[in-house]
Amino acid sequence: MIPAQFDYERPASLAEACQALAEDDEAKVLAGGQSLLPLLRLRLAYPTKLVDVGRLDELKGVHDRGDHVFIGAMATHDEVLRAPAVASGCPLVAMATAHVADPAIRHRGTFGGSLAHADPAGDLPAVVLALDGVLVARSAQGEREIPAADFFVDYLESSLAQGEILAGVRIPKPGEGWGFHYEKFHRTAQAWAIVGVAAAVRRSNGAITEARLGLTNMGATPLRAHATEAALRGVELGDAVRQACEQAADGTSPPSDLHAQPDYRRHLARVLTHRAVRTAAGSP
């Protein structure tokens, strides 16, 4: 398809980019374009202007900052996958990123774009939510920190204000004893998740001491499986884990589409959460 006409701007600095956005209510940020351009081509979006932030060094790179890893918004999926800081400091991010689309798209699409797009079917929002990431936004007014729990507002809607640019994400490093797994259920290798489960599980002496679970595509936003998280606390590995995971779909409102109806998605959430927790806990 063919997009409608728009202006294109490539500012030289983050400050200029903020300025360009502040000037035009209908302007949109362009990152890797892997979600935005399809919308333009299908004429589902008609921005007046695209502000291309893809080459801003201030938004790039993955940094080890002691107690957290800072992932620049414009780090591509491929860069995230290869970053040693991610592998050691937040391996769950790498596990999920490996499931995003295909290599070509991973070389263009960005970590920040995936979060700012706020697609509940994207693999990374549930991961950042599960890991209690903190999103850092910049605007002409300055910098703002948004906890992941407050960032995802609705379907394709984040709490970024018009004129705000996501600069990067702080992912706290886990302490001792944590294991991770991302379980993605999809019909073809390059397809979006029908349901996905991001699991971070802490173990001690054969029991689970803490679990953080993010659900992909189980509602209008990524969700935490709070009931299962609570039920898993202090539970021995084994049948009790399965029982706790029976609550994984509680409080969700999964979508209905050609790939799955809600009851099937709820069922999948339970099965996949169990698999993800078991694998994260190191008991296949």
Partner 1 sequence: MTVQEVGQPRKRKEDARLLTGRTQWTDNLTRPGLLHVMFLRSPMAHARIASVDVSAARGMPGVVAAFSGQDFAAEQGSLPCAWPVTEDIVIPDHPPMAVDEVRYVGEAVACVVATDRYRAADALDAIEVDYEPLPAVVDMNEALASDSAKVHEAGNKAFSVTITSGDIEAAFRDAPVVIDRTYVQQRLIPSAMEPRAVMADTDGESFTVWSSTQIPHVLRVMLAVVTGIPEHRIRVIAPDVGGGFGSKLQVTAEEVLCLLLARKLGKPVKWGESRSEGNLTVHHGRDQIQHVRLAADSDGRVRGLQVGLLADMGAYLMLVTPGIPMLGAQMFNAIYKMDAYEFGCTGVFTTKMPTDAYRGAGRPEATFAIERVMDELAAELGMDPIEVRRRNWIRHEEFPYTTISGLTYDSGNYEAATEKALALFGYDKLRAEQADRRDRGDPVQLGIGVSTFTEMCGLAPSRMLGEANYGAGGWEHASVRMLPTGKVEVITGTSPHGQGHVTSWSQIVSDALGVPFDDITVLHGDTAIAHKGMDTYGSRSLVIGGVAVVKACDKVREKARRLAAHLMECSPDDLDFAAGAFTVRGTEQSRTIQELAYAAFTAHDLPEGVEARLDSDATFDPDNYSFPHGTHLCAVEVDTETGMVKIRSYVAVDDVGTVVNPLIVEGQVQGGIAQGIAQALFEEAVYDAEGNLLTTTMADYLLPSAADLPNFTLDRTETPATSNPLGVKGVGEAGTIASTPAVVNAIVDALRPYGIHDIRMPCTPERVWRALEGVRR
Ligand X SMILES: Cc1cc2nc3c(=O)[nH]c(=O)nc-3n(C[C@H](O)[C@H](O)[C@H](O)COP(=O)(O)OP(=O)(O)OC[C@H]3O[C@@H](n4cnc5c(N)ncnc54)[C@H](O)[C@@H]3O)c2cc1C
| Stretch touching ligand X by CB under 6 A, among 101-109, 227-235, 236-244, 274-282 | 101-109
The answer to whether the CB of 137 falls within 8 A of the CB of 166 is: yes
Our finding on whether 34 is near ligand X (CB under 6 A) is yes
Name the binder of 2 from partner 1, ligand X, none, CB < 5-8 A by kind: partner 1
Q: How many CB atoms lie within 10 A of CB 197?
A: 32
Q: Can you tell me which of 28, 68, 202, 259 binds partner 1, judged by CB under 8 A?
A: 259
Task: Identify the DSSP state of 110.
Answer: B
Site string for ligand X, 60-99 (x = CB under 6 A): -------------x--------------------------
Q: Can you tell me which of 42, 104, 149, 153 binds partner 1, judged by CB under 8 A?
A: 42
Q: How many CB atoms lie within 10 A of CB 226?
A: 14
Which of 39, 207 has the CB closer to partner 1? Answer: 39
Which of 180, 192 has the CB closer to ligand X? Answer: 192
Name the binder of 29 from partner 1, ligand X, none, CB < 5-8 A by kind: ligand X
Contacting residues for 62 by C-beta, under 8 A, at least 6 apart: 69, 70, 71, 72, 75, 79, 80, 83, 85, 86
Site string for ligand X, 160-199 (x = CB under 6 A): x----xx-----------------------x-x-------
The answer to whether the CB of 42 falls within 8 A of the CB of 76 is: no
Query: How many chain residues touch ligand X (CB under 6 A)?
Result: 30
Measured between its terminal Cα atoms, the distance across the chain in Å is 46
Name the binder of 151 from partner 1, ligand X, none, CB < 5-8 A by kind: none
Site string for partner 1, 63-102 (x = CB under 8 A): ----------------------------------------
Taking every pair of Cα atoms in the chain, the longest distance, rounded to a whole number of angstroms, is 61
Which of 110, 273 has the CB closer to ligand X? Answer: 110
Contacting residues for 109 by C-beta, under 8 A, at least 6 apart: 31, 32, 34, 35, 76, 77, 100, 101
Site for partner 1 in 133-192 (CB under 8 A): 185, 187-192
| Paired sense of beta strands 68-72 and 165-172, if any | antiparallel
Torsion angle of the four alpha carbons 226, 203, 234, 230, in this order, in degrees rounded to the nearest 10:
0
* H and E: helices and strands count for the chain: 12, 15
Query: How many chain residues touch partner 1 (CB under 8 A)?
Result: 25
The answer to whether the CB of 93 falls within 8 A of the CB of 86 is: yes
Residue 140 sits at φ, ψ, to 5 deg, of -60, -25
User: Binding residues for ligand X, per CB under 6 A?
Assistant: 28-36, 38, 53, 73, 100-101, 105, 109-110, 112-114, 116-117, 122-124, 160, 165-166, 190, 192
Q: Residue numbers of the site for partner 1 (CB under 8 A)?
A: 1-5, 41-42, 185, 187-192, 194, 257-261, 264, 267-268, 271-272
